[in-house]
Chains A and B, each alone.
Chain A
Amino acid sequence: MSETIFYIFAFIVAASALGVVANHNAVASALSFFVCLCGISVLFAMLDAYLLAFLLILVYAGAVVALFLFIIMLLDMHGGDRPPFGKMTIVSGVIAGTLLVLGVVTFLARGQFSTDALALARQAPSLFTDLKFYGVKLFTSYMLPVQLVGFLLLTGMLGVIVISKKQDEEGKKAEGLKD
């Protein structure tokens, strides 16, 4: 049963990821990205990471995709229409992608995964579905990263404000010169 669900959602995720790349319209790409994120969140739930599945929907599908759609609307490019890919572009892109996949496949094939141990670990119920474990980890072992990430968010917020504000001032100056 869980195999069928995995294959269905793996197919949905891969197909919608291809949709992000191949769609002619940027809005359609963003919506394919949304479908892809929903599929991945189902896979997270299958891996017993319920909190992360929920957060992925909340942060990515809720905030990031909405932000993308908002920016597409703001730039007023009507989704844009991509020109057809050049032959050389496709050939080189596919070669690069294949090399990437081959590299990881060789890495995995040469790796020393003990498949029996992995299967046993999967049989055991996950200990980490409880939120308590995340809280304990975040506020003991990962206290410094949490603070750093908070600082990063602050820096990002200031950066965004500065970038948009500078443009406004330049706009005003340009208008002033016109007057």
Chain B
Amino acid sequence: MTIGLYHYIALAVILFAIGFLGVLLRKNTLVIYMCLELMLVAATLALVAFSRYNGAIEGNVFVFFILTVAAAEVAVGLAIVVALFRKRGTVDVAKLNALKN
């Protein structure tokens, strides 16, 4: 059986679910951030696969933009994490409960 679109989509969905699981399970802000990036990469994999199997380049061009936005997002997000660490001395989301109640 040759590798079809479904194989790539299945892998992208599994990757996305693993990233989602990580966001739900982990307490470390940095690892949560990595899992968010994992979900973004899963979406790009689905886009590239759709693009290849439809014979259109649009999906690949979208991946370009996703990569750029992800780079900007990582820069800002990590700056926020560092600012948070300076202010509160921890990056554990279980301890960052100032807004609770």
A residues touching B (Cβ–Cβ < 8 Å)? 2-3, 6, 10, 13-14, 17-18, 20-21, 26, 29-30, 33, 36-37, 40, 43-44, 46-49, 51-52, 55-56, 59-60, 63-64, 67-68, 71-72, 74-75, 77, 80, 82-83, 85, 89-90, 92-94, 96-98, 100-101, 104-105, 108, 113, 115, 118-119, 121-122, 124, 126-128, 133-134, 137-138, 142, 145, 149, 152-153, 155-157, 159-160, 163-164, 166-167, 171
Contacts and interface: CB of A to CB of B under 8 A. Distances in A.
Contacts of B71: 59, 63-64, 153
11 contacts: A40-B45, A47-B8, A47-B49, A47-B52, A104-B9, A121-B55, A137-B58, A153-B68, A153-B72, A156-B72, A157-B75
A20 B22 contact: yes
A40 B15 CA distance: 10
Chain B interface size, as a band, is 35 or more
Nearest to B7: A6
A77 B37 CA distance: 21
Nearest to B74: A64
A29 B54 CA distance: 35
Dominant secondary structure of chain B at its interface with chain A: helix
B3 A17 contact: no
A47 B2 contact: no
